Amino acid sequence: MKSIVGYRTPGPGTQPNHLHPAYVSSAKRSPTQPLVQIPYTLSEVTGPTFGAESVSPAMHDLTHQHKGEPLGERIVVSGRVLDENGRSLPNTLVEIWQANAAGRYQHEWDQHNAPLDPNFTGCGQVVTDAEGCYRFVTIRPGEYPWRNHVNAWRPAHIHFSLFGPAFSTRLVTQMYFPGDALLPFDPIFNCTADEAARNRLISIFDWETTIPATALGYRFDIILRGREATPMEGQ
Amino acid sequence: MSLRSTTSQTVGPFFKIGLNWLYRDNLIGEGVSGERVTVQGRVIDGDGAGVPDAVIEIWQANAHGKYAHPEDWQDQLVEPGFTGFGRVPTDSQGGFRFTTIKPGAVPGPQGKQQAPHLMISILMRGLLKRLTTRMYFPEDPRNGADPILNLVPSTRRSTLIATSPPGKSGMLEWNVMLQGANETVFFDVGL
């Protein structure tokens, strides 16, 4: 028998509750019973692993997946994936998806009256390198209306999905852009009580990764849960 | 150094664009041992309606109870054809279906074995962070002593155990009820 080292519990208010009434569709899809607390076992501290071979190297560049180039402002989105203990997380799968420059998704359910772009699918994947770094080239997504409330608009955002080293570290989130006027009004961005935690979802404009005459750089570091310092009691 | 984990956000309605390249409804590769099972069910919301925009992810051990992961210390066989990962979206009625093998028992707390189970993550529009649960197998004598099932109020335990429809060998049914009298038990694994 081996000791199991669990994962740290997120700080109060730094993660959303399932039910957030301002986000209307959470009402019928959130559990009403309390979550059942369980100890970490081998099942929670293991998880699917993805090596660099799992993705095509071409999938880091969303602007070269078709015959022509997509419309919109080319950007570089990059950053590091770390855990709460400040350790780099290499070999972590990062999946992204987003709307095109006009705020329209390449999806049959998106009926927003804005043009599709035949040169943009809006899908990318990379695996982090030995330092936990990732980098995408894409276009800045447009804002778009949605039906949550009257005159509701989503701020520009890119969806991110990460696995990390274990079932317990799985994270799906969204990256926003600095200075977006819609952020204070967005119930999804504002679902988290802790203001500093919310603001960490906003990428940082970055000269270092800006390519002269080609693309602005935005930096977005992602922190996955870190290990507890000691094995859990009773393991 | 102490950092705070990044805040979770909903997967939204359009996740297919980014996640469908890794949809995997058959977890069984070449040469994989174990009892074949097909699991089907529906994800149902608080109005009793099927959720057409959910995605379910599966994580499980192989038939020897071994996870394909460096932290599994057991001296058991990893099978190259079995990663233990699956991902399936729901259909227009909220239905899902995947084929896998029944895993072996895996180690649990205090030296106890855990009954065979699938680890399940559920993501959908309307969920600001994922739900996690487990699916256990019907009529497995090890369920009674499972240390995790025994932490669940006995009246709710059945929500975690699939059923075998009569006359359909190799088929299991298991529904995810987000709310209501038979609300599925969801676990707190921290996030």
Whole-structure pTM value: 0.97
- Helix, strand or coil for residue A184? helix
Residue B168, classified by CB atoms within 10 Å of its CB into exposed (0-12), middle (13-18) or buried (19+), is: exposed
Catalytic annotation present for A23: no
Catalytic annotation present for A157: yes
Give the A window 61-80 contacts with B, CB below 8 Å.
none
- Out of 3.40.50.9100, 2.40.100.10, 3.40.50.720, 2.60.130.10, select the CATH number for domain A24-224: 2.60.130.10
Residue B105, classified by CB atoms within 10 Å of its CB into exposed (0-12), middle (13-18) or buried (19+), is: middle
Query: CA-nearest residue of chain A to B83?
Result: A48
- Residue A179 contacts by C-beta under 8 Å, 6 or more apart in sequence? none
Instruction: Name beta bridge partners: B85.
Output: B59
**Counting one residue from A and one from B, how many pairs have CB atoms under 8 Å apart?**
252
Distance CA(A65)–CA(A59), nearest Å, equals 8
- Helix, strand or coil for residue B109? helix
Domain boundaries, chain A: 24-224
pLDDT band of B185, cuts 50, 70, 90: very high
Looking at every residue in chain B, the average pLDDT score rounds to 97
| Contact residues on chain B for A48, CB-CB shorter than 8 A | 59, 83-85
pLDDT per position as a tens digit, B95-104: 999 999 999 9
Question: B165 vs chain A: nearest CA distance in angstroms?
Answer: 27
pLDDT per position as a tens digit, B34-56: 999 999 999 999 999 999 999 99
Distance CA(A89)–CA(A153), nearest Å, equals 34
Does the beta-carbon distance from A95 to B22 stay under 8 Å? yes
Question: B169 vs chain A: nearest CA distance in angstroms?
Answer: 27
A44 to chain B, any CB pair closer than 8 A? The answer is yes
Percent of chain B with pLDDT over 90: 96
- pLDDT tens sequence for chain A (235 residues): 678 999 999 999 999 999 999 999 999 999 999 999 999 999 999 999 999 999 999 999 999 999 999 999 999 999 999 999 999 999 999 999 999 999 999 999 999 999 999 999 999 999 999 999 999 999 999 999 999 999 999 999 999 999 999 999 999 999 999 999 999 999 999 999 999 999 999 999 999 999 999 999 999 999 999 999 876 544 4
User: What integer pLDDT is reported at residue B2 of this predicted model?
Assistant: 83
User: What integer pLDDT is reported at residue A229 of this predicted model?
Assistant: 81
The residue from A157, A198, A225, A227 that is catalytic is: A157
pLDDT band of B1, cuts 50, 70, 90: low
Catalytic annotation present for A134: no
Nearest to B190 among A97, A122, A225 (CB): A225
User: What integer pLDDT is reported at residue A234 of this predicted model?
Assistant: 44
Residue A53, classified by CB atoms within 10 Å of its CB into exposed (0-12), middle (13-18) or buried (19+), is: exposed
User: What integer pLDDT is reported at residue B179 of this predicted model?
Assistant: 98
pLDDT per position as a tens digit, B55-72: 999 999 999 999 999 999
Structural domains in chain B plus CATH codes = 16-177 (2.60.130.10)
**What is the number of alpha carbons within 13 Å of residue A142 lying toward its C-beta?**
20
Give the B window 25-84 contacts with A, CB below 8 Å.
45-47, 51, 53, 57, 59, 61, 67-73, 83-84
Q: Do the Cβ atoms of A226 and A83 come closer than 8 Å?
A: yes
Count CB-CB contacts under 10 A for residue A92.
23
